[in-house]
Structure 1
Amino acid sequence: MTEMTLKIKQKFSHKFKQGQPLIFKEAIANLDSLKEEGTIVSLEDERGGFLGRGYYGRQNKGYGWMLTQKQKEQIDQEFFERKFAKAWSKRKSFFNNPDTTAFRLVNGEGDGLGGLTIDYFDGFLLLNWYSEGIYCFKDEVIEALERTVDFKGIYEKKRFNTGGKYIDDDDFVTGERGEFPLIIKENGIQFAVYLNEGAMVGVFLDQRDVRRKIRNHYSEGKTVLNTFSYTGAFSVAAALGGARETTSVDLANRSYEKTVEQFAINGIDYEAQKIVVQDVFDYFNYAVKKGLSFDTVVLDPPSFARSKKKTFSAEKDYKDLLKQSIAITEKDGVIVASTNAGKVPMARFKGFIDQAFKETGHKYAILEEFTLPHDFAVDPKFPQGNYLKVVFVRKR
């Protein structure tokens, strides 16, 4: 790997001295010198003081990541071996838990490796590369994993092409090829995952604690509406928790068969549940017209989504989405409000909740809150990496 010096403007140098991992555009004094992604960069302040070492890699968050503040530490295979061994050690409890066989092994900057996440699915690893820069270290990363982590096979997802679309080529990397669907467990719940089918695999691991809470405390005897339901994971959790009925709503045509599959592998009669392929915003209008209401409403939209009729942004539109949810939530019912929008901090998210209830003339009580589970490690110097916000709200 080539290496160059990256000058950090003096007014930002203190952030990197304190351990700020993201190399952001505004901090770079010699921006024009960055040419080839994957270049190792030695960060210096404008007086020549060493700040750290990392790599140049463009992604939506910035221009690369600082990986070490040790001046003599090289970014090579041994570096990755040390990082993976530490990550493995931190997650020993997961490897010894037969009821949960899928979790995050490496969470980007939270484990000192900005731009790369690694998920563990019952012996198989899934690598997510978020820039061409970190992908340049693929050989070193694979070799380091082979030396430090016990796995059956490795798959990958490249998420860095400029069009914002998933690069769909052969996802298999090395080791044993999996047989799909691969059935994993999460707190005893079974989920079918596909590591070889496009950008998403079938379940979002960061919502594990929320699904357990819904199953154990917010489902028994309840009617549960799961909006933006994807493959119905929240609905499965609710059904296993004794829900009287679940309704899963998602615009994607594939959501129906994927949700049927998730119910089936858990021994749940999917015909006793409702699975609706429809724009969620249209479904809200339909529910109001038909006088439908629910005891528990799960509201977990993507941070940005576009349909033929509407564009949704969590930053701009979540409050209005909540107002529509309030309208079809029973008195004393619960809304599970969730967002993965990194630009929306928890305080602002709670502001959306407060505004929505005030504007609809209802009182509310916040019951509990969730952020990322502990396998999704967060760097305290980069709190925006803790992107998940979930608030259980009771409608009074």
Structure 2
Amino acid sequence: MKQEMTVKVNDKFKAAYAAGYPLIEKEALMDTQMLKEEGALLRLTDAQGRFLARGYYGKQNKGLGWIWTRNEEESIDQAFMERKLAKSINRRQPYFDDPATTAFRVVNGEGDGFGGLTIDYYAGYYLLSWYSEGIYTFKADIIAALQNVVEFKGIYEKKRFDTKGQYIEDDDFVAGERGEFPLIVKENGMNYAIYLNDGAMTGIFLDQRDVRRTIRDTYAKGKTVLNTFSYTGAFSVAAALGGAAKTTSVDLAKRSSSKTIEQFSVNGIDYEQQDILVMDVFNYFKYAKRKELKFDMVILDPPSFARSKKYTFSTSKDYTNLMREAIAITEKNGIIVASTNSASFGMKKFKGFIDKAFKEEGKKYSIVEEFTLPADFRVQKEFKEGDYLKVLFLKLK
């Protein structure tokens, strides 16, 4: 049995926890000195000792842990995990029933009551991503529960809780049979090559599924498309399959070229007819201006933070300048797809960055599409911060 400690909650946080707030914040606890071993169960009470919730201690950039249950009689064991997992899996049944999409999220952290853990499904394989040492101490019960609840080919994991923010390299295989990679998954009928055994990333960000489909179905036909911070070229593939005249993919990482070639190839697209460039995006903007290049569509999906030899990019500080660079090389009546996965600000502030950029450039625009997380990335209404994705399709006037 795990050690359980009783921790009192400050009065000003009491109502939030009673209402369903899932994050255990440092400021909410009256005494944090007793918190030593990550994974310890925490019995949260009010100042008078009345039960509020049961959670666990696990340091994450967001707080000190997450709530498991508000039922005082509920034990945190394998049976508990099975009940929660079964509920999460059942919510995704429409995705399991759709042959055109074989990659999606089945547990979205606190949105499904598993703060600190996500579970993704890839064509018969399950991938667990652990975001704190605390949640990782529940691994045995969670893996056993998953094996009882789902049919699977194999189970993999990613340990993402190193204190320096680095991915912990390990043998990522957990159970079942090892996959043969790349594993080809489908997304709205498109093919993507993914790897569950090759570092922190799999090759595709599942939260952009609806955006990729919209690019393919509505905006790409006959257009020249620039995909910046292109990673493995997933947006470029969607654009090409939508009939884009040409795509240009730009990313600083050397592996991006071979990965993007692979994604085009598994869709039967001649990658030699596309431009794939390994270079700093900001240098590319300068090059494009010098050559007087313009694009019908520019896709901006930068990481929240990035560093190259010449530049340091932070979304909260630099998105306005990035947007100005994009405006300068977008055709009249063109589309800019502005995206960020930064959880440090909301949609209103994001729109403010964009508005400022257009004003500084003396240009006008309209928002023609707006996206947040897709339905499988479930968000808890008491924790709006969990809805981190913000995507706007902007039409230049």
| TM-score computed with the length of structure 2 as normaliser | 0.99
- The alpha carbon displacement at 1:311 in A equals 1.1
What do residues 272-300 of structure 1 show as CA deviations (whole Å, max 9, x unaligned)?
A: 00000001111111111110110000000
User: What do residues 46-96 of structure 1 show as CA deviations (whole Å, max 9, x unaligned)?
Assistant: 111211001000011100001111111111101110111001110111111
C-alpha separation between the residues in 2 aligned to 1:62 and 1:239? 42
SS at match of 1:333: strand
SS in 1 for 2:169: coil
Distance in 2 between residues matched to 1:330 and 1:371, nearest whole Å? 26
Shift of 1:11: 1.5
User: Do the aligned partners of 1:55 and 1:64 also contact (CA within 8 Å) in 2?
Assistant: yes
Separation in 2, partners of 1:293, 1:169: 44
- Displaced runs of 4 or more, over 6 A: none
- Within-5 A mapping of 1:144-183: 144-183=145-184
Offset from partner CA, 1:232-289 (integer Å, 9 cap, x none): 0000000000000000000000000000000001000000000000011111111111
Q: 2:297 aligned with 1:296, yes or no?
A: yes
Structure 1 residues 159-205: Cα deviation after superposition (integer angstroms, max 9, x where no partner): 00111111011000011110000000000000000000000010000
Alignment-derived partner of residue 390 in structure 2: 389
Q: Distance in 1 between matches of 2:174 and 2:148?
A: 16
1:32 aligns to what SS in structure 2?
Answer: coil
Alpha-carbon distance in 2 for matches of 1:37, 1:381:
25
| Structure 2 CA distance for aligned equivalents of residues 67 and 322 of structure 1 | 41
Report the equivalent of 2:18: 17
List gaps (5 residues or longer) in structure 1: none
> Secondary structure of 1:125's partner?
strand
2:53 paired with 1:52: yes
Structure 2 unmatched ranges of 5 or more: none
Partner SS state of residue 348, structure 2: helix
Tell me, yes or no, if the aligned pair for 1:84 and 1:149 is still in contact at 8 Å.
no
Q: What's the TM-score once normalised by structure 1's chain length?
A: 0.99
2:264 is matched with 263
| 1:310 Cα deviation from its structure 2 partner | 1.3
Alpha-carbon distance in structure 2 between the residues aligned to 1:352 and 1:77: 46
Q: Deviations over 1:77-128 (max 9, x none)?
A: 0111011100111011111111100000000000011000000000000000
Secondary structure class of the residue paired with 1:229: coil
**Are 1:102 and 2:103 counterparts?**
yes
Aligned residue number for residue 198 of structure 2: 197
Per-residue CA distance 1:131-184 (angstroms, 9 max, x = gap): 000000000001000111111110000000111111011000011110000000
C-alpha distance in structure 2 between counterparts of 1:12 and 1:67, whole Å: 17
Q: Give yes or no for contact 1:184–1:190 (8 Å, CA) kept in 2.
A: yes
Q: Which residue of 2 aligns with 1:313?
A: 314
1:230 and 1:343 map into 2 onto residues whose CA distance is: 22
Instruction: Give the distance between the partners of 2:7 and 2:188, measured in 1 at CA.
Output: 46
> Do the aligned partners of 1:338 and 1:388 also contact (CA within 8 Å) in 2?
yes
Other structure's SS at 1:236 match: helix
**Residue 82 of structure 2 corresponds to which residue in structure 1?**
81
What is the match of residue 127 of structure 1?
128
Q: Secondary structure of the equivalent of 1:31?
A: coil
Corresponding residue for 2:222?
Answer: 221
Per-residue deviation, residues 276-330 of structure 1 (Å, max 9, x unmatched): 0001111111111110110000000011111111111111110110000000000
Q: Residues of 1 paired with 2:374 and 2:112: CA distance?
A: 14
- Two-structure CA RMSD over aligned residues (Å): 0.6
* Higher mean C-alpha displacement, 89-98 vs 206-215: 89-98
The count of corresponding residues between Structure 1 and Structure 2 is 396
Please state if 1:335 is matched with 2:336.
Answer: yes
Matched residue type, 2:72: Q
